[in-house]
């Protein structure tokens, strides 16, 4: 088996196992109060992590500051102005595109 | 903040509502899928990237594995990079689990529908998840991701660079918009700030996937009595 197919096979099985663990361990019954207090906060923690990662990742394992930062800053302004979701994400994309065209 | 992706507290929406809620994000996902197809084709050939997008179905992990394979880093390192990136689905799985019903195998199957976008869209204000939105929103995500990969593999060279259109800024802006509502509670705000700070401070030193999942530690703030 080539390295490519080996990667695809193991990664797909591993991903299924990762995604199955929580639903198998916790589903079907009410978790305890303290458990729920923690797992219900995984969402804000991981969403914040994704905002940081998607804004600053250099595509490998490092940090880079580029035009995406301007796009996300525009998103913050749009959110402060209570703009609708579509305006927030499209404004971010447009600001990033303009910044790139300007050579940022 | 738009309320279109949110639903009433105790009812679960049906699949169609989920598909509708996820539809707007099929477009940026398609664009990122095209990017993956374009970058993967010289490294993996024509068929493997499309199969990968079907069976692995996780953008960030596929990019992480691809960049290792492209640098001739070997299958072991490529698998590790991908698995680390997907490790965030472990805490996400625990987060959605209380909202799933049925036998263990059915719950595990439903758990496969968790991707970043569906996880973000399906979350309710009370900390639970809308099952119909979670499952439904994944359908346009899959269509965009797999279709985009195929377009990128076969026709990528004739398309312009999606980065020129700022497509890559859509996802952080979207997650930020979802996160914005968390700021309404002191606890949600504290967890978001701590989570973001953990990822930011680790990103330069550890693999990106590890920096992302480490943010889940911020949820331990929930153990403090308010």
The mean pLDDT values, 10 residues at a time, for chain B of 226 residues are: 43 88 89 88 94 94 89 88 90 92 92 92 88 95 96 80 83 88 83 96 90 93 78
Residues from chain B contacting residue A56 (CB–CB below 8 Å) = 200, 203
Q: Inspect the interface and report whether the beta carbons of B223 and A37 lie closer than 8 Å.
A: yes
For chain B, what is the domain count?
Answer: 1
Four-CA torsion A12, A39, A54, B139, nearest 10 degrees: 50
Decide: residue B73, CB within 10 A, 0-12 exposed, 13-18 middle, 19+ buried.
middle
Question: Taking 80 as the threshold, does the pLDDT of residue A100 lie above it?
Answer: yes
Residues from chain A contacting residue B114 (CB–CB below 8 Å) = 19
Nearest to A49 among B123, B196, B223 (CB): B196
Q: Is B197 a member of any domain? A: no
Q: Inspect the interface and report whether the beta carbons of A41 and B79 lie closer than 8 Å.
A: no
Q: Is B40 a member of any domain? A: yes
Give the best residue of A20, A23, A64, A92 to mutate against chain B (max B CB count within 10 A): A23
Q: Is B110 a member of any domain? A: yes
Q: Is B101 a member of any domain? A: yes
Mean pLDDT of chain A: 91
Quote the pLDDT of residue B181. Answer: 76
Query: How far is C-alpha B14 from the geometric centre of its chain's CA atoms?
Result: 21
Q: Is B173 a member of any domain? A: no
> In angstroms, what is the C-alpha Rg of chain B?
18
Q: What are the C-alpha distances in Å from B156 to residues B1, B29, B39, B52?
A: 35, 15, 9, 17
Nearest to A54 among B171, B193, B219 (CB): B171
ipTM over 0.95: no
Q: Is B104 a member of any domain? A: yes
Q: Inspect the interface and report whether the beta carbons of A61 and B91 lie closer than 8 Å.
A: no
Question: Taking 60 as the threshold, does the pLDDT of residue A87 lie above it?
Answer: yes
Q: What percent of chain A has pLDDT over 70?
A: 96
CA proximity to A49, closest of B47, B179, B165: B179
Residues from chain A contacting residue B101 (CB–CB below 8 Å) = 27-28
Quote the tokens at residue A58: 């250099």
Quote the pLDDT of residue B92. Answer: 93
Quote the pLDDT of residue B3. Answer: 42
Count of Cβ atoms closer than 10 Å to residue A82 Cβ: 10
pLDDT (tens digit, 9 = 90+) per residue, A1-38?
699 999 999 999 999 999 999 999 986 667 788 888 88
- CA-based nearest residue in chain B for residue A34: B223
Q: Does B219 touch chain A (CB under 8 A)?
A: yes
Q: List the beta bridge partners of residue B129.
A: B123
Q: What are the C-alpha distances in Å from B56 to residues A17, A30, A36?
A: 12, 30, 29
Quote the pLDDT of residue B226. Answer: 52
In angstroms, the CA B32 to CA A93 distance is 13
Residues from chain A contacting residue B218 (CB–CB below 8 Å) = 41, 44-45, 48
Residues from chain A contacting residue B171 (CB–CB below 8 Å) = 50, 54
Residue-number span of the structural domain to which B114 is assigned: 15-165
- CA-based nearest residue in chain B for residue A18: B90
């Amino acid at each position: 088996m080539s390295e490519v197919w080996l990667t695809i096979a193991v990664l797909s099985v591993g991903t299924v196992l990762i995604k199955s663990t929580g639903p198998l361990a916790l589903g079907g019954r009410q978790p305890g109060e303290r458990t729920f207090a923690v797992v219900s906060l995984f969402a804000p923690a991981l969403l914040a992590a994704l905002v940081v990662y998607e804004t600053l990742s250099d595509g490998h394992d490092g940090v880079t500051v580029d035009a995406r930062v301007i796009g996300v800053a525009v998103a913050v302004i749009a959110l402060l102005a209570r703009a609708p979701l579509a305006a927030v994400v499209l404004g971010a994309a447009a600001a990033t595109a303009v910044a790139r065209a300007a050579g940022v | 903040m738009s309320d279109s992706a949110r639903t009433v507290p105790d009812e679960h929406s049906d699949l169609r509502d989920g598909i509708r809620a996820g539809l707007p994000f099929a477009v940026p996902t398609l664009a990122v899928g095209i990017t993956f197809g374009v970058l993967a084709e010289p490294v993996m050939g024509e068929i493997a990237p499309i199969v990968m997008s079907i069976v692995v179905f996780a953008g960030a992990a596929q990019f992480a594995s691809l960049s290792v394979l492209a640098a001739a880093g070997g299958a072991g390192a490529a698998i590790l990079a991908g698995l680390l990136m997907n490790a965030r689905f472990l805490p996400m799985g625990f987060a959605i689990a209380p909202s799933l019903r049925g036998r263990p195998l059915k719950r595990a199957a439903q758990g496969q529908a968790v991707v970043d976008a569906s996880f973000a869209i399906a979350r309710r204000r009370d900390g639970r998840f809308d099952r119909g939105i979670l499952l439904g929103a994944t359908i346009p995500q899959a269509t965009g991701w797999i279709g985009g990969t195929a377009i990128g593999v076969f026709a990528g060279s004739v398309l312009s660079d999606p980065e020129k259109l700022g497509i890559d800024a859509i996802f952080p802006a979207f997650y930020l918009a979802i996160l914005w509502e968390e700021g309404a509670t002191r606890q949600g705000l504290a967890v978001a700030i701590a989570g973001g700070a953990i990822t930011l401070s680790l990103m330069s030193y550890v693999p990106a996937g590890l920096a992302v999942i480490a943010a889940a530690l911020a949820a331990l703030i929930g153990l403090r009595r308010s």
